[in-house]
Amino acid sequence: MADKSIFKIAFILALFLCTTAAFSQSKKQQELEDRRQELRREIQQINSLLSKNKSQQKSQLTLIEDLNYKVSVRRNLIKVTNQQANLLTREINDNQHKISELREELEVLKENYAKMIVTSYKSKSEQSRVMFLLSSSDFQQAYKRVKYINQYAEYQKKQGESIKLKTAELQEVNKALLKQKADKQKLIAENKVAQVELEKELKEHQSLMESINKDLSKYAAQIKNRQAEADRIDREIERIIREAIASSNTKAGKKSTSKSSAVYAMTPEDKVLANSFVTSKGKLPWPVEKGVVKLRYGRQPSPIVKTIMIQSNGVRIATEKDAKVRAVFNGEVYRIIASKNGNPSVLIRHGNYFTAYSNLGKIYVKKGDKVRTKQEIGEVFTNPSNGQTILSFSVFNNSKTENPASWIYKM
């Protein structure tokens, strides 16, 4: 009995481990598929944005930036598709192994069932069940024989059901295997197409870089000028936020210290709003309905002149012409920031958090307005010289910048 219990426990454990492994693989496969579809949509958006701007005479710098981004996304797509195909290969191997095991089990079940039927037939031909019972020496033996006959019949029935279940399971695994093979072939075919597109883009990239390298100092100067303008806007936003913090502390009657000057003094209503903002981290909507992130947060080398470092306090999102800018969360318009050389920005306060929306062509709100999530606050400016529509978006915790990709859903 102890051996049987140990066998049952081992069987249940093995079944649990197999099920867990299958579930884990299925979950990973779904995650990869979701990521692959995101990258495909991103490429479609890039192509859509580029085709809409084809009529504009773009600078070499803009063209190479667009191409760099496209190549990066395409490479990611190929990488994710390969991971998905490799995972399918493992799943196919697992299912082929499972099919072999199921066939062996089914063969044994059928053999045992056939032997049982033959034994049963011979038993019936030698003597009837009635004679088998009548030949009992006493009532106790007759009762045991009736019980045996019923148990034997029940066992036959269970064996037949086991064969049915194993056959059905084998058919399902076969079906899954065929689908996996078809899915893998589809992924391989898609990756071949993606690889061809990547090779075209890399040739175009090489040609553009050869042209840029002939006059690298000119393009380096353009990149530095852009960075200087972005830095100037960032410094202005940071200055206004520091002023807001100082003003809040004065209103709250707090003495000015190095610690208080870095933290916004919140009212009870501000605390509720800030907590709600934090709770929504990673789930906030995009500040534009359609767009792709062309420049990510943080310090990074320029994709064109590697020796030049770019400091990005937020993200730059390429979008379509006349794109509406949306507040990512409930808040109050703290300031409309005018720019001498550039376009205006809108700064929205969410308790002790701030979101900044820069490079706007039109503004729909004014200082002091209460805004709600996804409310349109303006339009992104479209550069008439190159057709680019770029929104700069930043998130601040007090006066400290944070990565918008940690706050915005699937950025």
The CATH number linked to 400 is 2.70.70.10
Q: Count of domains in the chain?
A: 2
Predicted pLDDT at 77: 94
Domain boundary among 213, 243, 274: 213
pTM of the model: 0.70
Query: Do both 343 and 389 map to the same domain?
Result: yes
**Mean pLDDT for each consecutive 10-residue tract of the chain (411 residues)?**
49 52 72 91 82 61 83 93 91 84 79 70 54 65 67 68 78 85 92 94 89 87 90 94 94 74 91 97 96 92 88 94 96 93 93 97 97 98 86 97 96 89
Q: Give the structural domain span for 20.
A: 2-213
Contact 345, 235 (CB under 8 A): no
Contact 328, 371 (CB under 8 A): no
Query: Do both 337 and 251 map to the same domain?
Result: yes
Predicted pLDDT at 126: 45
Rounded distance between C-alpha atoms, residue 405 and residue 370, angstroms: 25
Predicted pLDDT at 395: 98
Rounded distance between C-alpha atoms, residue 375 and residue 354, angstroms: 16
Query: Do both 282 and 400 map to the same domain?
Result: yes
Q: Taking every pair of C-alpha atoms in the chain, what is the biggest distance, in angstroms?
A: 115
- DSSP H helical segments within 127-138, as ranges? 129-134
Query: Do both 201 and 221 map to the same domain?
Result: no
Query: Do both 32 and 88 map to the same domain?
Result: yes
Query: Do both 238 and 357 map to the same domain?
Result: yes
Predicted pLDDT at 187: 92
Predicted pLDDT at 347: 98
Query: Do both 116 and 223 map to the same domain?
Result: no
Residue 195's nearest CA partner among 77, 45, 37, 36 is: 77
Query: Do both 10 and 39 map to the same domain?
Result: yes
Using CB atoms within 10 Å of the CB of residue 207, give its burial: 0 to 12 exposed, 13 to 18 middle, 19+ buried.
exposed
User: Within a domain: residue 411?
Assistant: no
Domain boundary among 213, 238, 253: 213
Predicted pLDDT at 355: 98
Residue 321 three-state SS: coil
Query: Do both 161 and 73 map to the same domain?
Result: yes
Domain boundary among 185, 213, 241: 213
